[in-house]
Amino acid sequence: MAEVLKIDESWYQRVTQVKDRTSAGGVVARLERGRIYIAVAQEVGGQWALPKGGVERGESLLQAAIREIGEETGLTELVPLGKLGVKERYGLKKGIWITQHFFLFLTRQKTGVPTDPRHRHGVRWFVLEDFPELFWPEQTALVRESARTIEGRVRAYRPAK
C-alpha cells in the first residue's frame, strides 16, 4: 500500500527560491433545511480539497475561481459573495510557491459533472459546523476561521428581483 503524504509546516515556510504561481478557488456553500454545506473536490491523487487552480492569462482572480470550480466539481450556478482570504504554500512537489485567492460562492446545485476529466468524482458536501480535515491544512483552516463570515453572508443573501 502506498504511503499517504502528510502535509506539515514545511509546506508553509518559504525557504527556497522557486517559481511563483497565482491560484484562485472557492468555498462553495449550499443552504438546505437551515444548514450550510460546503463543497469539496477530489484531487487527482484522491484527496479531498477546496476547488482551485492556476489563473490563466487574461483572467481575473474571480473568473479563474469560477472556471476552476466548474472544472473540478461541475458546479456552474455560482453566486459570488465576496473574497474570503489568501493562503500561501508550496505546491505538491515543493517546486513552486502558490499564492491562493479564495472566494465565497453560493449555489443551489447539489451535483455537477466536472469538465476536467482528471476530476471525475465531482463534488462532495460537508456540513459547515462539522467541516473535516482536508488534504491541505490551510484550506481546512480557511473554512473554519471564516465560518462566521460564511454563515453571515450565506444567510443574508437575497437574490435581486
Q: Note the pTM of the prediction, 2 decimals.
A: 0.93
- Residue 64, amino acid: A
Q: Which residues contact 72 (CB under 8 A, 6 or more apart)?
A: 41, 51, 52, 53, 114, 116, 119
User: Domain 15-156 adopts which CATH fold?
Assistant: Nucleoside Triphosphate Pyrophosphohydrolase (3.90.79)
pLDDT, the chain, mean = 93
**Rounded CA separation 45/30 (Å):** 26
Domain range annotation of the chain: 15-156
Distances (CA, A) of 97 to 11, 35, 57, 87, 90: 9, 35, 18, 11, 4
Residue 116 has pLDDT above 80, yes or no: yes
